[in-house]
Each structure stands twice: as structure tokens, then as C-alpha cells.
Amino acid sequence: MPSTSEYTPVTKKSIYSWVFYKNTHLQLLVVGIILVTVALRLIPLEMSKRIINEAVGMRDLHRLYLYCGIYIVSVVLASVLKMVINLLQNFIGERTLKVLRERLYAHALSLPLNFYRKTSPGQVISYMITEMIPVANFIGSAVAVPAVSLLTFLAYFIYLFYLNPYLSLMAVAIYTAEVFVIPPIQKKFNKANRERIDNTQKVSGIIGEAISGVHEVHSNASIPLERNRYRRALQKLYRSTLVMNAYKYGIKFSNNFFQSLGPFSLLLIGGYLTIKGRFDLGALFAFQAAYDKLYQPWKDLMEFWQIYIDSSVRYKQVMDAFDIEPDHELEAKGRAPYHLDGDISVRHLTYAVGSNIKLLDDVSLEIGEGEHVALVGFSGSGKSTLALCIAQLYKYTGGSVRIGGHEVAELSKQDMAHNLGMVAQHPFIFNGTVWDNLMYSCDALTLQGGGCARNGRPPTLDKVIEVAQQVGLFLDVLSFGLRSTIEPDEYPDLAKAIIHARHEFKAEHGQDLANDIEIYTHDSYVYYGSVAANIITGAPLKDNYNAAPLHEWPLFKDFLVRQELMNPLVELGTTLTRRVVDIFSSIGDVPEELYKESPIRQEDFEQYKSIADHLERGLKPTEEEVALLLKLALNCIPGVHKLGSISDELARMIVEARTPFRKMMQERDPLAFAFLDEDEYMRGRSIQDNIVFGRVKPDSAGAEERINQGIMQLLIMEGVLEQVVEMGFHFEVGSMGDRLSGGQRQKIALARIFLKTPHIVILDEATAALDNASQKRVQSVITRKWKGINTVVAVIHRLDMLVHYDRVAVLKAGKIIEQGTYEQLIDKKGALYELVYGKQ
């Protein structure tokens, strides 16, 4: 049965509660090892005294060997046990840190949305990752370090007292003085350190905020503004760090002073006693060694105290930041999640923010099971806020929202997830594959012991494909699959089918798609491919060839010289440089679109402008400039770069160089490249490239869609369409879906809900990023499959879609001002009529 601490909120637990959290047996083991280690540390001191007094003083070799043997064995054993203690400390700290981060992360995800309006992602990341590391170090050492230090200090002091009581009391007096000097400095250091931590978090927050909003920064050209914000925060961090380090070095100075004062006093007084015959030489040597070692546990205690203060400050700041109660219970405790009816009752609903600013004011709305209701209104009318209150994403401040007779405010998140699904206007896409994102809702339900869709089973591939077609995602997924690369040895049947599809594609679509594709032939220059691609006519298979820039590859440059291509290509690079620099310099502020038609990238323009200026002065290009001119020529794509072109003669020379290059590489490294062959699968190239066997013309509008339609029919005939589509589902979408368009993100979010098929669906402008045809298709599916079965509440931006809804509620200034069927409201010529037709 879980302990009481299991149910204590993570933000309410003290830092020391984690020291023994499932670690008591390990901490006891550490203490036991420490006791043995401390005893072993005293043995070398006693052996040192006996070696000098008994072995050396009495010239006894037997005792010398015996005492030296005992000495080294005890030292080795103590070192081994110390390493074991360190490993156990690290294990305890890291294991507890993992649990602490897991529980803190789960708690953070449960916090109200308002928390994340005030706290940047950078701060959350800093709290959970950076600030927790010292806490873990403290937790791991909380028992071991003080136990080792105190027991070692006590053991050494007892041994010193055994050797000479008076000298041992002197040693304690020095350490007592240190206690009165260092703590005041330590207190100021702690205050400065807290300031430094605060400033570090502010710097992290600014970085996280700017990176999260980098699109806004770019669109407003606000890099100088952000740089000034960052500079001011960095200046505060710089000053607080200097002050903190000043106190830190003051502490270090005091420690060093007292550390030096002890040996001085010992040598003075102990030497005097030895000379007077009141203290033997061996005892003096052992006392000196023990006193030197006495400082280390004392130092460790002082450092541990600092670690404790630092960790406590960090821990308190982190826990205070997250010490907020979730608005709703996460799980349905002690019962199964409710299966709610689809009726929704909103009565006198109020949602206020700030100083009682009412975004919703006395809103009432009754929605029957299976009814489809649209919410419309001008921007800021409260329609999305109402939808979010129904979905439990906002905690309303007054009134009531009931689903299936249950108050939404009292339902758990688990209850809501089992009965309701939502698609936002800007849905979030997680890092991973398309499939991962489509299965997100289903996987969440499955993990909670529920099931996806009405049958409670995970969707099959056929079902996912069907849903992808319904939301218009299928062709996107097919496109992702066609961009995949395969190894023909791993997929021999698929590779064979693709080669066969290649011949069929050329026969059936070669003429029809001539304006979309430039088919590859061995004797023709491919104008939609780069100069380098036209020479190589293949793909590198080894990383060293793939990573090496061709213009820096000695073997390739020697080949160009032998083929008499080096000078023409450098001349081409020179011509392109002069032409582009001349045009762009006359324009001034060059549009981004124009750079797409240029072989010179925007970030490289200044570099090539410098080369053009150099050439204008009649100077010969340097070796580095020649390499850059060659690089420019090799990357030039005449069909894409309208500002670049090559002569027919140069094109002929490049085509003639293909066979010699292939022959050279096959002799030198036959496995380095996969060369184009109409009857062979092209390794390293995408499935689409293998079927098309040419270059898609990017300036041909809709080319890829027309090509993929043709390819799809051939893949169906070859019986491999499903296999390619499955590969498309495993396309990596990137961080926050940054490899997807806005429309593709929204299609994934819609498909996610279609797969989940919840009883109640909230759509918050869920088709805003889709084209007209896609919106109509999605709306048709919603109307055909869900009306009368699933309750739908939709915030609508396209008013021509309202005819598909049973009822329309019009909001203005946080109130519902009219509701009824579309026809009723249009006939009434009220607020909806004004929205649809404007003021007459």
C-alpha cells in the first residue's frame, strides 16, 4: 500500500523528505560503510608513528615491512570504500531526481492554462532541468557527507587527544575561531547567490520566450529590441555573479588562513615540546599528519552546508513556482470514468479574468444529444471562451455547465477525455511521426484503461487510411511516403514493383506530364537538376562522400581538370556572381522571392559581393574565391535559378563527363555511388524519384499533386500502395510539427478526433487553415456521420457552413444575443443577418 508521502503533493514535500524517499536501506548501508572507512583512515596515522618510533628508531626491518604493509592495505581499502560511497551517493541522487522530475512534470502538466500565460517555457525547462541538478547532488550526499565528515573529524580529534591533549585543544580552538568568522560571510554569500539564481531564471525566461516567439521576432524585425532586453537581464546576472564570487573567494581566503595557522602553531608548540623531551618524534609526525587530515572533513562540512543552503533556495523557488492547485482532479478516483450522455446545459455562465473583466456574462444554452450547434460572432465576442469552458479548459467563475447531468467543474480530466474531444484553431503537433500524432488521443485513453472509438480497440491501418481520406490527409501522407528512401535489399519486392511502376509511369504519363517533369535520359542535360547532379547522375552511398562538399574534394577537382571543365565552371561561377551582384545591388532591399531565383543564397550574398568587387578591380581571384566560384557553378539549377543559365556547349561537356566520372568511381570505389540506371533501383533516392526517374519542375503549379495521383494509380496496380502509405505515416513531423504546413497540422488534429470518435466534439475554428474544398469535405463527413449521434459544438469562421448546423448561437460582448436555426435567424434579419450580409 502506498505511503502517506505518495499522496502528498510534490510541491508540499520538504527537500529532506526526498533524502529517505525509498532510500532508507541504501542510506543505512552508506552509514555502515562510512564507519568502516573512518576506522581504516586512523590505521595509517598509527602506523606512521610506529614506523618512526619502533621500526626506524629501533632499526627493526621486520616491523618496518609489517607496519608498511598494514599502512598500504588500509589506504587501499579506505579508497575503495570511499569510491563505493560516492557511487551510492550518485545512485541515490540520480534515482531520486528521476522520480522528482517525473512527479513535478506530471504536476506541471495538470496546472491551469493561466499558469502558462504567466510562465514561459524557458522558465519551466530551467526549473525542471537546471535548478534540480544541485538538489539531486544534495539529496545524494545528505547522509553520506555529514556522516563521513563528522565521524572522521571526531575520530581524528580523539586520536589527537590520545597523542597530546593540550595540542588537540589548541587545534579545536583554531576551528572554533573559524566558526565565528566564516558564517557571517557565508550568510552574505547565500543572499548574493539567491540574487544570482533569480537573475539566471530571468535570463532563461527571456531566451525561452524569444525562441518560442521567434516568428514574431522575425516578422517585427525586433532582434535589436530582444537583444536590449537580453542585455539588461544579462548585466544584472553579471553583477550578481561578481558579488557572489567575491564572497565566495572571501570564504576561501578565510579557510586557507585558518588552515595555515594550525600547522604553524603545531610546529611552534609541538617542536618546542619535542626538543624539551616531552613529546616523541613519531608522535609529532603522527600529530602533524592527523591535524592535516582534520581539515578535510571540516572543509567538507562547510561545503556541505553551502550545498544545503543553495539547494534549499533552489528547491523552494522551484516548488513555490509550481505550488498551484490544479483546477480539476486528474483521475476518477475509486470509480470508472463516467460514460456521459451528449446533452449539454449551460446556465447563467460567467467567466471573468483580471479585475472582474467578464469575457462571458450570464450565458445560457441548451444542447440536446446528437445536436450540432454553431457559435458565431465578431472577434472577442466570447465564442471560443464558451467552447473552452464547456471543454473544461477554462474554469468558469460563475454559473453552471453540465454534461449528461454532471457539473463540468466537478468532473475529472479522465471523465472529460473519455467523453469529449476538441480540435483547436491552432492544434499542437508533438515531435514524432504522423502516426504518433494521429494515435495521441487513442493512446492516452488506452493508457487509462479505456479504449479508442466505440469498439474500444485500437484503429487498424485500414481505418486510419479511411480517416486520412475523409479529412484530406491521405495525399499528404502518400507524399511523405513517396519521399522515403529504402534499401532494395531490405525491400526487394517493393523495389521490383517500383522499377516496374517507373516504366509504366513513363509510358502512361510521360507525355501528359511533360510540363511537370523533366525525365532523365543519359544523353540529355537535366535543367531542373544542379550542375553537380548532372555530372554525378547518382547518389552517394557512403557518409564520407555525402558529407564532403564537391568543390573541396581533391579527386573531383582533378577530374574536372582532366575533363577540361574546371575553367568553364569557374567562369560560369564568375558570370553568375557578377550578374546577381549587379542586379541585387541596383535593387537595394531584395525580396526573399528573388533570392529563390538566384543561385546565391541570401546568407552568402555579402561573401560573393566581396568577390565581385575584387574582380571588378581587375584582380585575380584567390584560391579560396576560386573554390567559392566553383561551388556556385556546381549548385546552379538553370530551371529554378532564373538568374542563372549555362551555355549549350557547357551543357554538352557536362553530359559527356558523366560516363568518365562513373568509370572513375567504379574503379576507385565501386560501392561509393548509386548511378542512375533505368532498370535498376536508385539507392539513396526517394521512392518518388525512382518512379518519376527525373526532376519535378517546382515552377509548375500543382505538379506534385498531379504526379502523385498518377503514381498512386500505379502503386495500386502493383499492390504496394498501402506499404508506401504506411511509410508516410512514419514521417517525422519535426519539433512542434515544423515540417508540416498549417493545413496539414489541422488535418492531423481532425483525423485524431475522427479516430477517437468521442460522444461530444468541440471544434474551435477547426478548419480555418484548410482550403475551401477540404473544408467542405470535412464538414460533409461531420454532418453525414455524426449528426444525431455525436453532439458537436463548433466555433465557425466560415458562415456559409452554418446551413449544416441544427442551431446557431450568436454572441456579442460575452452574451448570446440570439439563437435559432440558420433560416430563422436570417429571416429575422438580426445579428446573424448582419454578420452574413453586412449592414444594409
CATH of the domain at 271: 1.10.287
Please indicate, yes or no, whether residues 378 and 274 belong to a single structural domain of this protein: no
CA distance 515 to 513: 5
Statement to judge: residues 174 and 153 lie in one domain: no
Residue-wise pLDDT tens digits, 390-425: 999 889 999 999 999 999 999 988 888 888 989 988
Percentage of the chain lying above the pLDDT 90 cut: 28
Q: Is residue 264 predicted with pLDDT exceeding 50?
A: yes
Location of C-alpha cell 464547456: 390
pLDDT, tens digit (0-9, with 9 covering 90-100), for 534-550: 998 888 877 777 656 77
Same domain, 120 and 234: no
Encode pLDDT of 190-230 as tens digits. 788 888 888 888 888 888 878 877 777 777 777 788 888 88
CATH number where 778 lies: 3.40.50.300
Distance between CA atoms of 752 and 775, rounded to whole angstroms?
Answer: 16
Distance (Å, rounded) from C-alpha 341 to C-alpha 405? 8
- Distance in angstroms (rounded) separating the CA atoms of residues 350 and 360: 5
Of all residues in the chain, the percent with pLDDT exceeding 70 is: 90
Residue-wise pLDDT tens digits, 458-517? 788 889 999 999 999 999 999 999 999 998 889 999 999 999 999 998 888 877 788 888
Has this prediction a pTM greater than 0.75?
no
Residue 260 has a pLDDT of: 64
pLDDT at site 549: 78
Q: Are residues 795 and 715 in the same domain?
A: no
Q: Is residue 337 a part of any domain in this protein? A: no
**75 shares its domain with 44:** yes
What distance in Å separates the CA atoms of residue 47 and residue 282, rounded to the nearest whole number? 10
Query: What is the domain range of residue 75?
Result: 1-164+295-326
| 336 part of a folded domain | no
Q: Does 641 lie in the same domain as 593?
A: yes
Q: Measure the CA–CA gap between 617 and 11, rounded to whole angstroms.
A: 70
Question: DSSP label at 550?
Answer: G
Residue (of 39, 34, 65) closest to 147 by Cα position: 34
Residue 2's pLDDT is: 45
Q: Is 80 exceeded by the pLDDT of residue 120?
A: no
| Neighbouring residues of 484: CB distance < 8 A, sequence distance ≥ 6 | 686, 687, 724, 727, 728, 731
Alpha carbon distances (Å) from 643 to 418, 583, 652: 58, 9, 20
C-alpha cell, 319:
516548488
All 3 cell numbers of residue 673?
Answer: 555511388
Question: Does residue 6 have a pLDDT over 70?
Answer: no
Whether 339 is in a domain gets the answer: no
- 699 shares its domain with 767: no
Confidence of residue 763 (pLDDT cuts 50, 70, 90): very high
- 116 Cβ contact partners less than 8 Å away, ≥ 6 residues apart: none
One domain for residues 269 and 319? no
Residue 659 lies in a domain: yes
Q: What are 711-753's pLDDT values in tens digits? A: 999 999 999 999 999 999 999 998 888 899 889 999 999 999 9
Asked if residue 589 and residue 490 are part of one domain, the reply reads yes
pLDDT of residue 700: 77
Is 615 found in the same domain as 531? yes
CATH of the domain at 64: 1.20.1560.10
Same-domain pairing of 582 and 711: yes
Confidence band for 3, pLDDT divided at 50, 70 and 90: very low
Tally of domains within the chain: 4
Q: Is 41 exposed, middle or buried (0-12, 13-18, 19+ CB in 10 A)?
A: buried
404: left (phi over 0), alpha (psi -120 to 50) or beta: left
Q: Would 224 be classed as within a structural domain?
A: yes
Q: Is residue 331 part of a domain?
A: no
**In the predicted model, is pLDDT for residue 839 greater than 60?**
no
Per DSSP, the residues of 138-202 read: HHHHTTHHHHHHHHHHHHHHHHHHHH-HHHHHHHHHHHHHHHHHHHHHHHHHHHHHHHHHHHHHH
Looking at residue 360, its amino acid is: L
Triad 811, 815, 821: Cα angle to 5°: 45
Cβ neighbours for 546, distance < 8 A, ≥ 6 positions apart:
540
Which pLDDT score is estimated for 34? Answer: 87
Note whether residue 350 is domain-resident.
yes
Q: Are residues 363 and 453 in the same domain?
A: yes
Going by C-alpha positions, the residue among 553, 565, 552 that lies closest to residue 658 is 565
pLDDT at 7 over 60: no
125: cell is: 525547462
Helix, strand, coil abundance in the chain, percent, nearest 5: 65, 10, 25
Cα 346 from Cα 392, distance rounded (Å): 13
Cα–Cα distance, 90 to 93 (Å, whole number): 5
Task: Determine, yes or no, domain membership for 534.
Answer: yes
Nearest to 758 by CA among 388, 402, 342: 342
Q: Which residues contact 259 (CB under 8 A, 6 or more apart)?
A: 295
Question: Checking DSSP bridges between strand 357-367 and strand 372-377, what pairing results, if any?
Answer: unpaired
Cβ neighbourhood burial of 210 (10 Å; 0-12, 13-18, 19+):
buried
